[in-house]
A and B are shown apart, each in its own frame.
Chain A
Amino acid sequence: MHEVGIMQSVLEIALSQARSSGAVCIREIRMRVGRMTGVVPEALDHAFLVLRGETLAAEARLVVEFVPGAFWCMTCAAEFESDDLIGGCPTCKEPSFDMRRGRELDVVSLEVD
């Protein structure tokens, strides 16, 4: 369910950018999606196929780079990757609340004609 709303916002951003740069067709939409957003890749693809409809993006590819969750451990003064929001540092087991990556939901770039 989340993915339809996300994709609607993504297409709004992409179409607005494409129009303002005079593009006639979007060939590719590149996104960066954090693992901590809970977005399901298949559902995102499906939402894209449904929503791109008769827009400038009707023929576009969706390319998604997934970003793993990353936290800063104050005790170890080191970053660790984890997709568990309340999981701790693998070295010292201390929980970390300093999330550095994993919440991305960005439109990175477009390829247009």
Chain B
Amino acid sequence: MCVECGCGLPGRTRIDGKPADQVPSPLVEDGGSHEHDHAHPHRHDHEHPHSHSHDHDLAGPHAHDHSRGHGAASGSREIAVHESVFAANDRMAERNRGFFKALGLLTLNVVSSPGSGKTALLQKTIERLRPATRVGVIVGDLETDNDARRLRTTGAPVVQISTGTLCHLDAEMIARAVGQLDAKALDVLIIENVGNLVCPAEFDLGEDLRVALLSVTEGEDKPLKYPPMFRHAHVVVITKTDLAPHVEFDREAALANIRRVSPDARIFEVSAKTGEGMADWCSYLASCREPGARA
């Protein structure tokens, strides 16, 4: 269930039509959704000899029993937990990130409100990148595989996650979905998140770049109304710029609002329909794949 809006019942998510917990993944050990029932026998304050990054504040559940001298079965004792509600997702996301990094895969998490043009932008982006760049797609929606079918017309492999009632993708869904792609044969993995400007902001999927879309028809103040989503974005793409004159889009106000919420984000302005701005956006993605481009 989503900790943001409380939506969703567990066990309803499907990947290409199959129940998600029955989809094998190189990143998830067991068949089903696993509970972290065990207490880790070691503390997590030791130096790890390997170099992948993970946040130790969010490290695994490790119980410390402070019963000290209390009777074996009587009297209360305190158990230190120090676990974030997001810890399970964050652990899985770091595992995904390590997996993607090991394969040299550039991974994008594309987020926006419904109808702001994610699928159209991705379709045109993939057409421009292929075949020189090998692109795979994971697309999330509550129902239907319409977006997957649109994206498959590009020739790229596409996995559809149908979340049922869930309003966002989480790291375990990505871990399972990526098992359905030949990840070794890809250069770029694009994750099209569920159209929603609230909940996906809180769920790290293990991506390199979070890309938030703002269509000109949505209004210039969207970044101020939904700051967490834009604040966490590395890139903001203003879409449907061909419609800007028709909706009296105030470009300067939109840019100022984006910079106010997310001063470091790269901003692109594109029209998937006319192709305006697409070359810049695609060459930026190519530059992100160059060695040393990403920390």
Contacts and interface: CB of A to CB of B under 8 A. Distances in A.
Contact of A108 (B63, B81, B88): B81
Interface in A15-33: 16-21, 23, 27
Contacts of B88: 9
A85 B260 CA distance: 11
Contact of B76 (A3, A20, A108, A113): A113
Given A5-B1, A9-B3, A95 B85 contact: no
Interface in A76-113: 85-86, 95, 97, 104-113
A26 B77 CA distance: 10
Contacts of A104: 84
Contacts, number: 106
B39 A12 contact: no
Q: Give the interface size class of chain A.
A: 20 to 34
A99 to B, nearest CB: 9
B86 interface: yes
Given A3-B6, A85-B228, A113 B75 contact: yes
A109 B85 contact: no
Given A8-B1, A111-B77, A16 B85 contact: no
Interface stretch (B30-38, B43-51, B149-157): B30-38
Nearest to A9: B85
Contact of A105 (B3, B7, B81, B228): B3
B77 A112 contact: yes
Interface string B121-158: 00000000000000000000000000000000000000
A108 B65 CA distance: 13
Contacts of B4: 2, 5
A21 B39 contact: yes
B295 interface: no
Interface in B240-264: 260-264
B227 interface: yes
B81 A85 contact: no
A86 B81 CA distance: 32
B61 A5 contact: no
B5 A5 contact: yes
A20 B65 CA distance: 11
Contact of A16 (B3, B37, B76, B86): B37
A106 B79 contact: no
B80 interface: yes
A109 B224 CA distance: 36
B83 A2 contact: no
7 contacts: A2-B4, A5-B8, A16-B36, A17-B63, A20-B39, A107-B85, A110-B78
Interface of B: 1-8, 35-39, 61, 63, 65, 74-88, 224, 227-228, 231, 260-264
Given A9-B88, A112-B77, 20 more contacts: A1-B7, A2-B6, A4-B1, A5-B2, A5-B8, A13-B87, A17-B61, A17-B63, A17-B83, A21-B65, A85-B228, A86-B227, A95-B263, A97-B264, A105-B86, A106-B83, A106-B84, A107-B81, A107-B84, A111-B79
Which 10 pairs across A and B sit closest by C-beta, in order of nearness?
A: A5-B6, A4-B6, A105-B85, A1-B6, A5-B3, A9-B85, A5-B1, A20-B39, A110-B79, A107-B81
